[in-house]
Amino acid sequence: MAIPQLPNVDGLLVTADNPARADLLGIGMDHARCAALHNYLIHNAWISEGRPPAALHGNNINTYFTTHGGAAEALRPRLHPSLAAFLDDARLPPDGLERAPFFFWANEFTSPGEFFAEPEADLFDEPADSLVCLYSTNIGQGGSSGGGLFYHQGIHRAAVFMHMDDHDFALPVQAHLELWHPLETVLSNWIELIRLGKITASPREAAPLFVGEKIGPWEWHPYSEAQVNSCVHAWDRLCNAIESRMPPSPSTPANPPEPEPEPLLAPPALDAASIPSPSFARAFLSRARRPHFRSIAPGLLLPPASAASFTASQPFTHLPHPPQVVPPVCIFPAANSDLQADVTGWLNPFHEAFREPPAPSRVPAGVYTESVDRSVLDTAEEGFRLLLPYGLHGDSARKSDGSGVSAGSATELFQHGYKPFGGDYYRPQRLERLLDHWCGLVVRGVWDVGPRGVEGEVERFREADGAARWRDYVISPTW
């Protein structure tokens, strides 16, 4: 949602061309940049509820120290100067009015009594006063005894813990440095979610768009139009990388006319297969172009174009399910239709509506879109599951957070695990990220390209279980 009268922070957002501060150990937090991004989120929540922007200016602005007084001032000697400067500049809404939660995953600054995460520091042998719970969480148990945005004063980096179990993934810090990020990176990530439309803010009394629960003014969307567009762009990058490496066909003229692009699936095929409208799967399949090859990854094909064949490749879309539940869609089936994935019990990653009869216990291998209940928080229609016809040993195969895939799992490859920017472990990786990762494997020559597209069989994904190539099958951590 575009909200007027927001401050311009474009030059402060962390991007590839505008990275976070690199010299953290020498100087500490980039407190001015972080405070400006914090204040942007405060401003966003405030005016989304129809409150006047002018109320956030002048002498009635609160900070952590003015709000908590002597209890907060007593913490100053234990704070790095850059963290104290951030708390001096980061605004809080005026007194006397109900405060909106700071963000979807963060409620507010923790109180002085819960500010230092001493139990966690002791448990994981972190130095005294190094670990603080900067923001309490909106979901689960908040404060330093549970979740929140934790900031480490030794390395000046932050990570979000939604639950107690998250501590085991991200602590001790030195063993998991790749999961800790400068605070400006975390705040930029949150602002990017707003700009994508994945999270929006509206008056808290307004009904949520997807009949789910709102957290104050903040609403999480199953997917957004911007995500569909960015996924289609990732698809184009992958297709272009493959097509540019395909050997020329002897029968192809030197400069053939460019045919009119066709979508992966036409509306009649999507209708025949009962692909929900609207849905992320339908939007992607109808907007992504059908390229000039068949194999998009080792042993995985484009979806069949005919309505009958595409419908026959869908084991879930015709099954009964609640109206707010979106079924999984097989978008890239295995070339060998006899290869099937076991989805019994804990091996099934999909919504519970597709785990019991009449749902099948074995389904064709391939890439499926995520099934979600749109009324539940932290869903991801833009997600995917790669279903392999074999279980991985888990000896070397890793998730984004560095943890191993479960031994015997056929559905965890390329998935997140713990999410340092916020969210539960079960939310799947985005399809956009998979397509860009596969593009990198093609560009780097890890995967070979032949006249029909990417060469190889589904067995190729077993490389994730080997010491030599497992890193090629890990997507770096993000939201």
Given a cut of 50, whether residue 145 has pLDDT beyond it is no
The residues, ordered by sequence, that sit 6+ positions from 477 with a Cβ below 8 Å of its Cβ are 178, 179, 400, 401, 416, 419, 420
Spatial neighbors of 404 by CB under 8 A, at least 6 apart, are 394, 395, 396, 397, 398
pLDDT in tens, 260-307: 789 999 999 999 999 999 999 999 999 999 999 999 999 999 999 999
Residue 54, pLDDT > 90, answer no
pLDDT above 50 (res 352): yes
Q: pLDDT over 70 for what percent of the chain?
A: 94
Q: Please say whether the beta carbons of 345 and 304 come within 8 A.
A: no
What radius of gyration, in Å, describes the C-alpha atoms of the chain? 24
Predicted confidence at residue 164, as pLDDT, reads 77
Which H or E element spans position 332? strand 330-333
**Mean local confidence (pLDDT), 457-465:** 96
Say whether pLDDT at 437 is over 80: yes
The pLDDT tens digits of the residues spanning 184-223 come to 999 999 999 999 999 999 998 899 887 677 899 999 999 9
- Asked if pLDDT for residue 229 goes beyond 50, the answer is yes
Least trusted range by pLDDT, from 46-55, 372-381, 426-435: 46-55
Phi-psi region of 28 (alpha: psi -120 to 50; beta: other; left: phi over 0): left
Q: Is 9 a residue whose pLDDT tops 80?
A: yes
Q: Is the model's pLDDT at 453 over the cut of 50?
A: yes
d(CA 138, CA 140): 7
* pLDDT over threshold 70, residue 254: no
Which of these, 281, 449, 294, 473, lies nearest to 394 by C-alpha position?
473
H/E stretch holding 169 reads helix 166-170
Query: 167-176, 245-254, 332-341, 430-439: which range is least confident on average?
Result: 245-254
Tokens of 478: 């993000």
The full set of domain ranges for the chain reads: 24-220, 225-247+263-473
DSSP state of 77: G
Given a contact cutoff of 8 angstroms between Cβ atoms, the answer to whether 33 and 12 are in contact is yes
pLDDT tier at 59 (50, 70, 90 boundaries)? low
Name the pLDDT band for 49 (thresholds 50, 70, 90): confident
User: pLDDT confidence of 139, banded at 50, 70, 90?
Assistant: low
Q: Which band of pLDDT confidence, cut at 50, 70 and 90, is reported for residue 58?
A: low
Burial of 27 (0-12, 13-18, 19+ CB in 10 A): middle
Query: How many other CB atoms are there within 10 angstroms of residue 55's CB atom?
Result: 14
What pLDDT, on a 0 to 100 scale, did the predictor assign at position 98?
Answer: 64
Q: Give me the residue label for tokens 């399910």.
A: 321
- Assess contact for 462 and 299: CB atoms under 8 A: no
Average pLDDT over residues 452-458: 98
How far, in whole angstroms, is CA 297 from its chain's centroid? 22
pLDDT tens for 158-182 read 999 988 788 889 999 999 999 999 9
pLDDT at residue 142, rounded to an integer: 38
Give me the residue label for tokens 């995953």. Answer: 105
pLDDT over 90 for what percent of the chain? 78
In the predicted model, what is the mean pLDDT of residues 393-399?
A: 87
pLDDT at position 405 is 94
Residue 257 has pLDDT above 80, yes or no: no
The three-class DSSP label of residue 296 is: strand
For the chain, give the mean pLDDT.
Answer: 92
pLDDT of residue 252: 60
The answer to whether 417 and 404 are in contact (CB under 8 A) is no
pLDDT tens digits, one per residue of 93-120? 876 556 778 999 999 999 999 999 999 9
Instruction: Report the pLDDT value the prediction gives residue 260, as an integer from 0 to 100.
Output: 78
Distance from C-alpha of 320 to C-alpha of 313, rounded to nearest angstrom? 17
Helix (H) / strand (E) element for 131: namely: strand 131-137
Strands 325-326 and 106-109, bridge-based pairing: unpaired
